[in-house]
Amino acid sequence: MAKRKVKTHEFDREQFKEALTELKDLKNVDRVNLINIIEETFRTVLAKKYGSADNFDIFFAPDRGDLEVYWNREIVEDGKVEDPNRQIEHSEAIKIEPDFEVGETLSQKIPLEEFGHRAVATLKQTLQGRVRDVEKDNIYKKYKDRVGEIITAEVYQIWKKELLLKDDEGHELVLPRDQMIPGDFYKKGDMVKAIVAKVEMKGSTPIITLSRTSPVFLERLFEAEIPEIEDGLISIRKIVRSPGERAKVAVETHDDRIDPVGACVGVKGTRIHGIVRELRNENIDVINFTHNMPLLIQRALSPAKITSIRLDEDNHRAEVFLKPDQVSLAIGKGGQNIRLASRLTGYEIDVYRDTDTEIEDVPLDEFRDEIDGWIIDQLKAIGLDTARAVLEIPKKELADRADLEEETAQYVLDVLAREFEEDAGDNKDDTESDEDDEGDDASFGEEE
């Protein structure tokens, strides 16, 4: 039998609008979600008051702020009521509408005033909490889909271990110090460019973490600056970085008409210089990718010039031979160049001196009686495996590269110099030699 609706006194629309006032300022909640939140919240209040809420109909129009709640009960004979929430005596029903009959369903409109002021306050608080929960969930979903994208946000607060930023909608983002490039310095109000590195929920709060040190950040900068990459004509095969210091980018194209390295660099470096500035003058080596591993290793060790390579493919090791004046270029400051080349190629690279003339030399291992073994291992790790190779390096540079105290580096130089009865005076110069890191037009950035 059809439900028959009966009006009671009018719903207090102004009181309800007051309860929803703060909801107008909340963002990212669509119409459907808002209606669902209102219905769920009212059903919770109704369940507390009447025991259950599945026999109530709730109609809400968010544009007008109109709400109607109908209480549905079956009309039964007097004295036959078993559940007052679901049933009403016939004698009570006909007071509302005289022509009601037993078996019909009474659908009675319930005004908000009947819930009382405390219930309305609780309702308002619950509504606001639910809407904010939906907001947080929407923020999480929004940024979860943007992981790996570049965004620009404003510095809002500066803390010891991280920066708090806000996007253009006022959402809070975090940039940890360890995800900032060395040399990054920001003050409140500065705009920061970074990628969305991670999005997670901690409790009910979305945490959006940004990064400027990720290789993906450099990849996105390349895509933004190089039209051929954005169009798919050039692809980036791999990027390795030592943030703020040096990066190597391997690129390739399947269009023989395009020079991938030249396209990335631009005329006189015009395209790549903007990227270098964004990365605090990080040196960027752009390398033409190849499946020919010896050639790829040779390119990865740029700006050094290699004379020969011997590969151990089973163990992914490469023995690289260079002229004495190229060894320091291959290794780079603090071993940085050779480490990045190893990461780019996937091969552990060992550097050896290759000379055309016979020069008396002694392997470092023969000095283990005079020099601690760990020091010799440190020197060999940066490609210095003979006495003369070490003696050619100034003391301060030797200490920096091998991570030694300067006193220890001087002791090593003195021991090795005595072997050849040479004057080690030149090696005591504290002035660090400059390396020319720009091997060709594919290497850009601040010189080391």
Residue 155 maps to which CATH number?
2.40.50.140
Per-residue pLDDT for 294 more than 90?
yes
CATH number, domain of 422, equals 1.10.150
- The stretch 221-250 carries a mean pLDDT of 95
According to DSSP, the residues that pair with 395 across neighbouring strands are none
- The stretch 400-418 carries a mean pLDDT of 89
Contact 210, 179 (CB under 8 A): yes
Closest CA to 165 of 193, 206, 138: 193
Closest CA to 39 of 12, 68, 18: 68
| Residue found under tokens 């708090």 | 164
Report residue 159 CA to chain centroid gap.
Answer: 19
pLDDT value of residue 58:
87
The letter for the amino acid at 175 is L
Q: Report residue 253's pLDDT band, with 50, 70 and 90 as the boundaries.
A: very high
Same domain? 125 vs 159: no
pLDDT value of residue 434:
36
Strand, helix or coil for residue 433:
coil
- The stretch 11-32 carries a mean pLDDT of 54
Closest CA to 361 of 374, 373, 352: 352
For the chain, percent of residues with pLDDT exceeding 70 = 82
Q: Report residue 380's pLDDT band, with 50, 70 and 90 as the boundaries.
A: confident
CA distance 196 to 225: 19
Q: Report residue 446's pLDDT band, with 50, 70 and 90 as the boundaries.
A: low
What's the number of domains the chain is made of?
3
Q: pLDDT tens across 313-354, in order?
A: 999 999 999 988 899 899 998 899 999 999 999 999 999 987
pLDDT value of residue 133:
81
CA distance 320 to 339: 14
Q: Which of 213, 234, 264 lies at the terminal end of a domain, its last residue?
A: 213
Q: Which H or E run contains 216?
A: helix 215-225
CA distance 194 to 221: 10
pTM (predicted TM-score): 0.62
* Domain annotation covers residue 420: yes
* Domain annotation covers residue 47: yes
Q: Which H or E run contains 242?
A: strand 234-242
Decide the pairing of beta strands 105-109 and 87-89. Answer: unpaired
Q: pLDDT tens across 421-443, in order?
A: 643 344 444 433 333 333 333 56
CATH number, domain of 68, equals 3.30.1480.10
160: left (phi over 0), alpha (psi -120 to 50) or beta: alpha
**CA geometry: angle at 296 spanning 268 and 322, to 5°?**
90
Per-residue pLDDT for 4 more than 70?
no
Give residue 127's domain range: 3-141
CA distance 74 to 87: 5
Q: pLDDT tens across 49-60, in order?
A: 888 889 999 887
Is the link from the previous residue into 243 a cis peptide, with omega within 30 of 0? no
User: For 178-182, 299-303, 321-325, which range has the lowest pLDDT when averaged over its residues?
Assistant: 321-325
CA distance 285 to 246: 8
Which DSSP letter does residue 431 get? P
Which DSSP letter does residue 416 get? H
Same domain? 41 vs 151: no
Contact 292, 306 (CB under 8 A): no
Mean pLDDT across the chain: 83
Q: Report residue 90's pLDDT band, with 50, 70 and 90 as the boundaries.
A: very high
Same domain? 84 vs 179: no
User: For 6-20, 163-177, 179-193, which range has the lowest pLDDT when averaged over its residues?
Assistant: 6-20
